[in-house]
Amino acid sequence: MRILVTGARGTVGSLVVPLLLERGATVRALSRDPARRTFPAGVETVAGDLERPATLDGVFDDVDAVMLYPHPETAEDVVGRIATAGVRRIVVMSSASVDTAPPADTAHNIGHRHHRPVEEAVERSGLEWTHLRGGEFMVNDLDDHAVTVRTEGLLRAPHTGQHGAPVHEADVADIAAVALTEEGHHGRAYEITGPASLTPEQRAETIGRVLGREVAFVPLSYEEARALWISQGVPPEICDWLLWEPDPGEDPCEGETFSHDYARVMGRPGRDYARWVADHADAFGR
């Protein structure tokens, strides 16, 4: 079985590639510049860019399944090329936000606008499809908190008391590898979250416990968080989306619920936040 992985150097794709090799698949990795990329031994690298479909001639030939990274502007063209090449199955790296889009006249439906068009193009193709709707990724905490934890012993975050159910990137990769290589996942949209919800305070406590030292939580106001993220290069509309507050009257402590899809597919619980911190402890200054 030959599988093409787009986004093969990304957070999830880089984990999917070795999992596919372990399953005996022949892996082809798509890269804009193959000469500058290093993949595990045995991986075939091909040049191409999802943002420029004309560069994809021959990329999908003799491929049985594709792991597709979302590019909504070119999704119809790319999926059409995948279908024409005779590919049987597409697994889409999507987002949990496609199912919870706020009204179209707000800035907060960015995730819906970005991922749902790709899902729809794949669904219309007539091919077997599976959507991986990952929620918040634990790995985002490396960008958000690793430096301050390492240098100051602090975790700064907004939404005091609000829960989230972050997912270990390896859990998403696990389901991707299964859906790409096994039968029985056609027409499924898997919501992939962590096994439990956490407040920012609980994340700080967990990081400290795993590292064996105190990590203090410092709450940020909406304005402080927005200013910090903009200074780090996050677009303002993304900041507004991330800082989207619950409607008046909602309990902010309810926050994000967690899904059991990982356990149903894999037959075991998902990796928890403590496991993720241990996997990345060096970044936090172990």
pLDDT value of residue 192 = 95
Return d(Cα 134, Cα 221) in angstroms, integer. 27
Return d(Cα 188, Cα 56) in angstroms, integer. 27
105 lies in the same domain as 17: yes
In CATH, what number is assigned to the domain containing residue 234? 3.90.25.10
The residue out of 84, 116, 134 marking a domain boundary is 134
Using CA atoms, how far residue 237 sits from 108, 110, 159, 229, 242, in Å, is 8, 8, 18, 11, 9
pLDDT value of residue 107 = 47
CB atoms within 10 A of CB 227: 13
pLDDT value of residue 151 = 95
97 lies in the same domain as 145: no
In CATH, what number is assigned to the domain containing residue 120? 3.40.50.720
| 3-class SS of residue 92 | strand
27 lies in the same domain as 67: yes
pLDDT value of residue 176 = 98
Residue 138 burial (CB < 10 Å; 0-12/13-18/19+)? buried
pLDDT value of residue 110 = 59
Using CA atoms, how far residue 27 sits from 1, 2, 89, 181, in Å, is 8, 6, 14, 11
Task: Find the domain containing 246 and state its range.
Answer: 141-164+196-256+273-284
pLDDT value of residue 1 = 95
pLDDT in tens, the chain (286 residues): 999 999 998 999 999 999 999 999 999 999 988 877 788 999 999 999 999 999 999 999 999 999 999 999 999 999 999 999 999 999 999 988 786 544 444 445 555 678 889 999 999 999 999 999 998 899 999 988 999 999 999 998 887 666 789 999 999 999 999 999 999 999 999 999 999 889 999 999 999 999 999 999 998 888 888 887 788 787 877 777 667 655 544 444 444 567 899 999 999 999 999 999 999 999 999 8
pLDDT value of residue 243 = 72
pLDDT value of residue 240 = 75
The answer to whether residues 4 and 60 touch, using CB atoms and an 8 Å cutoff, is: yes
Residue 175 forms part of a structural domain: no
| 3-class SS of residue 8 | coil
Ranges assigned E (strand) in 19-161:
26-31, 44-47, 65-68, 89-95, 128-134, 154-157
157 lies in the same domain as 111: no
Q: What tokens appear for 186 in the block?
A: 């056609």
**Taking the complete model, does pTM exceed 0.85, yes or no?**
yes
Which one, of 138, 151, 177, lies nearest residue 14 by Cα? 177
Using CA atoms, how far residue 286 sits from 26, 146, 149, 212, 226, in Å, is 37, 11, 10, 8, 29
Residue 106 forms part of a structural domain: yes
154 lies in the same domain as 90: no
Residue 113 forms part of a structural domain: yes
**Single-letter amino acid, residue 183:** E
Residue 267 burial (CB < 10 Å; 0-12/13-18/19+)? exposed
89 lies in the same domain as 121: yes
pLDDT value of residue 85 = 97
pLDDT value of residue 100 = 54
35 lies in the same domain as 153: no
Residue 103 forms part of a structural domain: yes
Task: Name the domain count of the chain.
Answer: 2
116 lies in the same domain as 251: no
pLDDT value of residue 163 = 75
> Tokens 């996050």 identify what position?
234
108 lies in the same domain as 146: no
124 lies in the same domain as 216: no
84 lies in the same domain as 41: yes
26 lies in the same domain as 147: no
pLDDT value of residue 254 = 45
